[in-house]
Amino acid sequence: MKHRIAARPFDYTLAAGATALVVIDMQRDFIEPGGFGASLGNDVSRLLPAVAPIAALLAAWRTRGWPVIHTREAHRADLSDCPPAKRLRGNPARRIGDPGSMGRLLVAGEPGTEIIAALSPAPGETVIDKPGKGMFWATGLHEALQSRGITHLVFTGVTTEVCVQTSMREANDRGYECLIVADATESYFPEFKAAALEMLTAQGAIVGWSTDSKTLLAALY
């Protein structure tokens, strides 16, 4: 079964059962005070509007038994998968691996890398720790999606212009039909979010399509 979704720059066709909902990096280190996002000087409250739309989409996918993918940006405890070019960039208050109020920043297994309670993964949903901004780098995710017959990906999460956009571009290069849900993704910088959405959908959906959660949900019911 296929669902036709009103989208930009033109309608998107969603393949039921072969479409995974992707929730990028909705983890405490980016969403809550005291985490890595805050250490960069960001107002983490700017990401909160994405939570309710993502929760609504998760409920819709779970009701149908459709696949859900959660990602977390997280590094090994010895930081062997965190190159100096990433860890030493800029002048943050604390760097990746440094101790924070929720454990070591962006280190797998620490409290800060946990997905926020409102969006906790359900049993059986895929959760991957990714050492980079894109969800395919060093994760084996592409092979896992192929083995399950996934051809379409619906993107949500944070931040729009960094990990979400990177993952969507990677997915496009691998042949997936990609849709980003505009109100289910956020940035610390509203102007960056707006620009990213324009870039992704320009030139006839060069990377993919964009819609909003209400439009998407209405098409599914």
User: Exactly one of 25, 29, 129, 183 is catalytic; which is it?
Assistant: 25
Catalytic site includes residue 133: no
Q: Choosing from 82, 163, 178, 193, which is the catalytic residue? A: 163
Sheet holding 177-186, edge to edge: 126-130, 68-73, 19-24, 152-158, 177-186, 209-211
Alpha carbon 60 to chain centroid, angstroms = 17
Instruction: State the distance between the two ends of the chain, measured CA to CA, in whole angstroms.
Output: 13
Is 2 among the catalytic positions? no
In 3-state terms the chain splits into helix, strand, coil percentages (rounded to 5) of 40, 25, 35
The residue annotated as part of the active site, out of 82, 129, 130, 178, is 130
Strands (E), the chain: 2-5, 12-15, 19-24, 68-73, 99-100, 103-104, 126-130, 152-158, 177-186, 209-211
Whether residue 25 lies in the annotated active site: yes
Query: What are the catalytic residues?
Result: 25, 130, 163
